[in-house]
Structure 1
Amino acid sequence: MADFPFDIVAFDLDGTLLETHRDLGTAVNHALALGGFATVPIESATDLIGGGAKIMLKQAVDAQGGLEHEEFRKLYKAMLTYYGENYAVHTRPYPHAVEVLDELSARGVTVGVVTNKFEQFARGILGELELIDRLAFVIGGDSLGKAPDGKHIAKPAPDPILKARELGGGGRTVFVGDSSYDVKAARAAQIPVVAACYGYCDGTAEELGADASIDSLSGLISALEGL
């Protein structure tokens, strides 16, 4: 176990550790209905996840003609309020998630989460699912504040992953995620990345261009050992 290649393993949340699309899709539909838009099939939420809740809602609204900034802002706030009250109704860990977290910890690896979901929501969901105590850090899409342009400092910027390495105590770090946001953030942070191809991927394994890919979390340990 001493020769495990990484000291820190950071995970994306939606589509990597947790299957969240049903609760996210329901929140999007709640906002769409409030705004007078047609709702979308819940399963289609998997195509919108990755960049955070605001991008997710904006894509759904823009597909139906869009909204003025202030009207969209009101709808976005309504979505967040609803999601904050209903974020763990259907959300569940992916198969093998708990076992993998425990196995990594048993090997002396520090594990944590880097997500574009707001930190409050991420911590709340992980607490509801009794996973929070297994994690050394949880970095959300709002954890690092905003850039000069007013946008939250989040993936695909490297800053959240660099912060994860700092909070994890430094050392050899790898990121596991399911989207181009994750791969780009890891590349910018100059660390290896594993594509979770069972998740809400916005490209094939080849298109994402990760250092390794897995079709189930059961394959993660061996994939990491192979890097």
Structure 2
Amino acid sequence: MTDFPFDLVGFDMDGTLLDTSADLAAAVNHALSQAGRPALDVAEVRPMIGGGARHMLAQGLDRTGGCDPAMLDRLHRVLLDYYEAHMVVHTAPYPQAVEALDSLAARGVRLAVVTNKLEAYATRVLAALGLTDRFVTVIGGDTLGPGNGKPSPRPIQEMIARAGAHRAAFVGDSIYDVRAAQAAGVPVVGCSFGFLDRPVADLGADAVIDGFAELVPTLERLGAAR
């Protein structure tokens, strides 16, 4: 048994556990190039990440001249095909993320991933980085069917059900993460280093960390406060 306040901690993937920005920006820019659009800097793409690949691409197309639904459909497939072949060129865990996972596991905490990335892509990236076995479940944006990705609470609720947990917390970097966790009644930690589309203070998270060295003590404080 453990006296840690949570028996399950869930994590968003892109911009939370992993810095995937360079690989995702490359996929966006490949799709944009097929429409004769200029490339975007990684820093420009980073705030577009979090709502799934189609949403990310739509923002990139809007930034470079707009699009119609047929163009978005066509280029979405182009983006996915490119990303499938170049998923883990630059992607890596954030500093001290793996150490934080180890620290939680040593306290008897189960770990999970809930992402708006397609489940098959999420599991492939985690496998390529040797992280798969750390998580009791991985839930993607398509796992529960259309319309059931974050900010819906359903992925968080499904994470809890699969883990058989009683005291869960969630860690993320976007408004989708915060709204999903809050709707599921789960405390949420925001990451100031993530792919933010607004100031981290405006996400409405229960706490904020500036790096993974802060995660365990922050969760302990959140648990004590509750």
TM-score, scaled to structure 2: 0.95
Aligned-partner Cα distance in 2 for 1:16–1:88: 16
CA RMSD of aligned residues (A): 1.1
Q: Which residue of 2 aligns with 1:184?
A: 179
| Alpha-carbon shift at residue 46 of structure 1 (Å) | 1.0
CA deviations 1:176-195 (Å, max 9, x no partner) are 00011111111111110000
Per-residue deviation, 1:64 = 2.6
Which residue pairs with 1:219 in the alignment?
214
2:153 to 139, 158, 168: 158
Q: Give 1:181's aligned amino acid.
A: Y
Offset from partner CA, 1:85-106 (integer Å, 9 cap, x none)? 1010000000111111111111
Rounded to whole Å, the distance in 2 between the matches of 1:199 and 1:64 is 24
Instruction: Give the whole-Å Cα distance in 2 for the aligned partners of 1:180 and 1:170.
Output: 24
Task: Show the counterpart of 2:12.
Answer: 12
- Aligned counterpart, 2:42: 42
Instruction: Report the equivalent of 1:115.
Output: 115
Three-state SS of the structure 1 residue aligned to 2:130 is coil
Maintained 8 Å contact 2:173/2:196: yes
Q: How big is the shift at 1:143? A: 0.5
Match of 1:201 among 176, 196, 200: 196
- Residue of structure 1 aligned with 2:205, choices 206, 210, 224: 210
Instruction: Identify which of 162, 169, 182 aligns with 1:167.
Output: 162
Partner letter of residue 149 of structure 2?
Answer: A
Structure 2: how far apart are the matches of 1:42 and 1:71? Answer: 22
What residue in structure 2 maps to residue 73 of structure 1? 73
Q: Report deviation, 1:36.
A: 1.5
Shift in Å at residue 67 of structure 1? 1.9
The alpha-carbon deviation at position 21 of structure 1 amounts to 0.3
> TM-score when scaled to structure 1?
0.95
Output the amino acid matched with 2:58.
K
- Count of residue correspondences: 222
> 1:71 deviation in Å?
2.0
Alpha-carbon distance in structure 2 between the residues aligned to 1:63 and 1:21: 17
| Cα distance, 1:133 vs structure 2 | 0.9
Instruction: Give the Cα–Cα distance (whole angstroms) in 2 for the partners of residues 202 and 44 of structure 1.
Output: 10
Q: What secondary structure, in the 3-state scheme, does the structure 2 residue paired with 1:191 have?
A: coil
Cα deviation per residue 1:44-90 (whole Å; 9 max; x = unaligned)? 22121111111100001012332221221010001001001101000
Report the more deviating stretch, 216-225 or 34-43. 34-43
Structure-2 separation of matches of 1:125 and 1:225: 29
Structure 2 residue matching 1:112: 3-state secondary structure: strand
Cα distance between partner residues in 1 of 2:3 and 2:98: 22
Consecutive aligned runs of 4 or more in structure 1 exceeding 4 Å deviation: none
Alignment match, 1:3: 3
Deviation string for 1:149-199 (max 9, x for gaps)? xxx310011000000101111210101000111111111111100001111
Structure 1 residues 25-34 or 66-75, which shifts more? 66-75
Kindly indicate whether the alpha-carbon contact (under 8 Å) linking 1:22 and 1:43 is maintained by their aligned counterparts in 2: no
Q: Check whether the contact 1:9–1:173 (CA below 8 A) recurs between aligned residues.
A: yes
